[in-house]
Amino acid sequence: MGETEYVFVTGGAGYIGSHTVLELLNKGYQPVVMDNFSNSCKGCDSASQRGIPESLVRVEQLTGKEIIFFKADILDKSALRKVFSKYNFLCVIHFAGLKAVGESSTIPMSYYRVNVGGTINLVEVMKEFGVHNLVFSSSATVYGEPQYLPLDECHAVGSCTNPYGKTKYFIEEILKDLHHAEPNWNVFLLRYFNPVGSHASGRIGEDPLDAPNNLMPYVSQVAIGRRPLLSVFGDDYPTTDGTGVRDYIHVVDLAVGHVACLKKLHDNPGLKIYNLGTGQGYSVLEMVKAFEAASGQKVPYKVVGRRSGDVASVYAATTLAYEELGWKAERGLAEMCTDLWRWQSSNPKGFASTVD
């Protein structure tokens, strides 16, 4: 790689974002990160003198490379223009947005304003500055209740069970319309399944601001003693042990998938949709047992009623990403759990922990 290739990363201080920034640095790209700390503000009080949040300070320490950072909001178009006026971006990787499924049902207008409105702002500024390459952080929630398994990219979308999933679906539709009208755009819609784990160093990981919305951060917080027990929502599903089955993917594999998209830009691929998952489903209780084995800690749980909108089983078909991107998940369940425990045990209070 000769001339510096700048990549704009919105929401790059968050869980998936920070791991992707690390992979970008390792591959020779120069990430320019913008974040407003809405999902990643723990540790902001320990930000460096340059104003960089703790998650990215640690990425710099791990890579020995510097991150360009702006604290700003994607709803602030003037802030976006300011960043774009400084750098000639190869591509934008767009993570920024509100992401709590339950919360989205209580404050849906905030989710539409931030997720959909923010993306429109971003795309309009990209057009102004002649940047036409975009990698979008979508979600398997766009599929709704599976009509068949494994879920492939041809499965029907739009039957979303919550406003968060609807924002991802609406953004996908907006970006499809954009590409149809302006075929010079290269757009990747990456449908994530369930990211877990952390960087193998244990220095960066998932740090939920409040009670975790996802299974494995909750499991790890029970194991470390931050929470008394895990609630398992339903044990009467038609699965091996009655608990819900999901496709869990190591966050580092997910981050590597974004870098694979950047490599694909040389082919001018147009609009592409890829599942990023492992193709393997695990039940809630299988995940608990795997984490207990990796951590040596007991994770007490109680079975409670099903949650509205939950389905029995969801897992991905991953052939397309392998055939077209040369990408597949390399890290298995044991590694996911071991790395998650390394992060949680080294940082019992997340980025707010004092770590020597």
- Euclidean distance between CA atoms 319 and 325, whole angstroms: 10
Can you say how many angstroms the Cα of residue 288 is from the centroid of all Cα atoms in its chain? 22
Whether residue 264 contacts residue 308, with contact meaning beta carbons closer than 8 Å, is answered with no
Question: Domains of the chain, with CATH numbers?
Answer: 6-350 (3.40.50.720)
- Euclidean distance between CA atoms 4 and 70, whole angstroms: 19
Whether residue 274 contacts residue 320, with contact meaning beta carbons closer than 8 Å, is answered with yes
User: Looking at residue 336, what is its pLDDT?
Assistant: 98
pTM of the predicted model, to two decimals? 0.95
Tokens encoding 256: 């590597």
User: Looking at residue 51, what is its pLDDT?
Assistant: 81
User: Looking at residue 303, what is its pLDDT?
Assistant: 98
User: Looking at residue 113, what is its pLDDT?
Assistant: 98
Digit-by-digit pLDDT tens for the chain (356 residues) are 468 999 999 999 999 999 999 999 999 999 999 999 876 554 444 444 568 999 999 999 999 999 999 999 999 999 999 999 999 999 999 999 998 888 899 999 999 999 999 999 999 999 999 999 999 999 999 999 999 999 999 999 999 988 999 999 999 999 999 999 999 999 999 999 999 999 999 999 999 877 788 899 999 999 999 999 999 999 999 999 999 999 999 999 999 999 999 999 999 999 999 999 999 999 999 999 999 999 999 999 999 999 887 889 999 999 999 999 999 999 999 999 999 999 999 999 999 874 44
- For residue 301, indicate whether it is catalytic: no
Q: Which of 15, 29, 143, 164 is catalytic?
A: 164
User: Looking at residue 210, what is its pLDDT?
Assistant: 73
Number of H helices, E strands in the chain: 12, 12
Tokens encoding 106: 């209580």
Residue 227: exposed, middle, or buried by beta-carbon count in 10 A (0-12, 13-18, 19+)?
middle
